[in-house]
């Protein structure tokens, strides 16, 4: 009897379902949720101005079928493409290389270099700037052809990379083991003193009769580094050619002088010698876009020039856009800015770097973004008669070997780890209704999409992202930067 009574409720439920037109279905027949487009989810990494999150992996964001009503929409169009990315990073100065090579144990050095240059295990720095000879962050003044006063060497018989072999070349070789496709830019602070009008490394100009030998000096550098297994992808002619009153190696080179050197010497010599290293002009602040335009306006000089490089110590990032408008077929590069003790607010520095250096330069056609010293010590050095309070991307304590990752580290990381060389900037504009935020979008060569969004305000910001059939919503914490990646 008990078994017969237990069947009654089941029969009764079936009768009710049939009589009301509701049919039962098995688990196998249950409809699947609607999938709005290809791909599974969006991954995110966030850094907040209060340091509560530092390149921290956020929750994965699911795609949705439609934009929520009333929400601001960022539309990304992969069919509209802009410049190709070459990489993100900093300068491996003599000081940086010395600290990494001399103040860390081999195990710590290897771990640090893996963290800096491996995109999977670390942040994937993909572009470095090297100083051709000494800079204001070297252990001493030197070039690759130093001679006693009054002597000359037009045959460059005494050319030598000997001082770079102490630290720069060994560290570079270790880096290239981790990142063999790393791009490298070489920039001189001064020619050898015997080539200059004042006979000194600081100040002066390049003697006109030394234009040919200085062009050959570049060739020797590129070939000597190649013999060490280090490919110099590009060179600038002169670091900060309009800043020539410093106490460290520097030189005045006006636009007309650089034009003549490129047109009559460096360009033809590179062509004759089969040097594929690209020539980049200017390498100074945003406040003088007329300088590179003057050179690019010359039809004979421009044939040898790949593009123009900028620093951010004066002027506005829009200057790079001005040069692009004048010469859209020539590349743009951002090659130097430093943080320092004059600006110690983590949040403010992070936001400034996003607005101007990383998002700002990318949206003004830059193919890269490089900060200044990759590493400095706890006393902002070693210094060579230059900036006495510049901050490195990382700080290496010269006594303990302790490593501190500064705000510049995280600014680089939000781009270098996710936007890989060969990526293309793609269309993506955030409406003003979304609040005080900045964005830039890319598509990597593997098809993955990257959106970097910075919330400059003190309040959280939310908006929807629409890329083809894929839609997702984001909420940016106050004063933060987030990198979003999806297929």
CB 37 within 8 A of CB 468: yes
Give the position of tokens 């110099």: 232
CB 156 within 8 A of CB 217: yes
* DSSP assignments along 368-429, one per residue: EEEEEESEE-TTS-S-SSS-SSEEPSEEE-TTT--EEE-HHHHHHHHHHTTS-TT-EEEEEE
Give the position of tokens 């400034």: 352
Catalytic residue at 240? yes
What lies within 8 Å, CB to CB, of 246 at 6+ separation is: 136, 202, 203, 385, 386
Q: Check residue 344 and report its DSSP letter.
A: -
Distance CA 453, CA 464 (A): 12
Given 115, 240, 407, 408, the catalytic residue: 240
Distance CA 463, CA 478 (A): 14
Closest CA to 440 of 431, 452, 449: 452
* C-alpha distances in Å from residue 43, one per residue of 32, 468, 480: 23, 18, 16
> For residue 393, with 0-12 CB atoms within 10 Å meaning exposed, 13-18 middle and 19 or more buried, which class applies?
buried
Give the position of tokens 């780890």: 417
Given 115, 336, 407, 408, the catalytic residue: 336
Closest CA to 280 of 198, 183, 202, 204: 183
3-class DSSP state for residue 366? strand
Assigned token pair, 289: 């876009």
CB 141 within 8 A of CB 248: yes
Assigned token pair, 452: 């970097």
β-pairing, 449-455 vs 461-467, is unpaired
> For residue 140, with 0-12 CB atoms within 10 Å meaning exposed, 13-18 middle and 19 or more buried, which class applies?
exposed
Give the position of tokens 């030197």: 142
Assigned token pair, 265: 């010497």
Distance CA 301, CA 282 (A): 13
Catalytic residue at 273? no
Cis peptide bond N-terminal to 19, omega within 30: no
Annotated catalytic sites, by residue? 240, 336
């Amino acid at each position: 009897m008990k078994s017969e009574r237990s069947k009654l409720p089941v029969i009764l439920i079936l009768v009710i379902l049939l009589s009301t037109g509701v049919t039962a279905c098995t688990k196998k027949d249950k409809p699947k949720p609607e999938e709005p487009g290809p791909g599974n989810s969006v991954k995110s990494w966030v850094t907040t101005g209060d340091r509560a999150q530092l390149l921290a992996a956020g929750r994965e964001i699911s795609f949705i079928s439609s934009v929520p009503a009333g929400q601001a929409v960022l539309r990304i169009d992969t069919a509209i493409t802009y410049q190709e990315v070459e990489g993100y990073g900093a300068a491996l100065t003599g000081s940086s290389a010395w600290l990494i090579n001399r103040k860390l144990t081999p195990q710590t050095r290897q771990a640090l270099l893996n963290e800096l240059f491996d995109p999977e295990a670390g942040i994937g720095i993909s572009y470095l700037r090297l100083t051709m000879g000494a800079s204001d962050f070297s252990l001493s003044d030197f070039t690759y052809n130093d001679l006693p006063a009054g002597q000359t060497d037009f045959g460059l018989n005494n050319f030598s990379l000997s001082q770079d072999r102490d630290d720069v070349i060994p560290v570079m070789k270790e880096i290239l083991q981790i990142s063999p496709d790393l791009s490298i830019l070489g920039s001189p602070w001064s020619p050898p003193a015997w080539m200059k009008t004042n006979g000194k490394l600081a100040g002066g100009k390049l003697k006109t009769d030394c234009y040919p030998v200085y062009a050959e000096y570049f060739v020797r550098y590129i070939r000597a580094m190649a013999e060490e297994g280090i490919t110099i992808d590009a060179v600038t002619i002169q670091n900060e050619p309009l800043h020539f009153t410093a106490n460290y190696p520097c030189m005045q080179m006006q636009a007309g002088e650089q034009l003549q050197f490129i047109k009559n010497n460096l360009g033809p010599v590179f062509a004759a010698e089969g040097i594929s290293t690209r020539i980049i002009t200017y390498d100074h602040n945003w406040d003088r876009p007329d300088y590179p335009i003057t050179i690019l306006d010359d039809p004979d000089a421009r044939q040898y020039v790949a593009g123009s490089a900028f620093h951010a110590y004066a002027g506005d990032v829009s200057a790079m856009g001005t040069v692009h408008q004048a010469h859209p077929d020539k590349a743009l590069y951002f090659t130097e800015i430093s943080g320092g003790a004059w600006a110690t607010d983590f949040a403010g520095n992070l936001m400034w770097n996003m607005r101007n250096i990383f998002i700002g330069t990318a949206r003004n056609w830059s193919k890269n973004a490089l900060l200044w010293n990759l590493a400095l010590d706890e006393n902002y050095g070693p210094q060579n008669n230059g900036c006495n309070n510049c901050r490195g991307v990382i700080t290496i304590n010269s006594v303990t070997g302790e490593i501190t990752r500064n705000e510049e580290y995280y600014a680089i990381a939000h781009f270098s780890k996710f936007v890989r060389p060969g990526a293309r900037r793609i269309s993506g504009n955030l409406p003003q209704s979304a609040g005080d935020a900045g964005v830039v979008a890319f598509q990597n060569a593997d098809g993955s999409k990257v959106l970097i969004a910075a919330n400059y305000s003190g309040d959280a910001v939310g908006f929807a992202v629409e890329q083809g059939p894929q839609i997702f919503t984001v909420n940016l914490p106050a004063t933060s930067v987030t990198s979003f990646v999806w297929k």
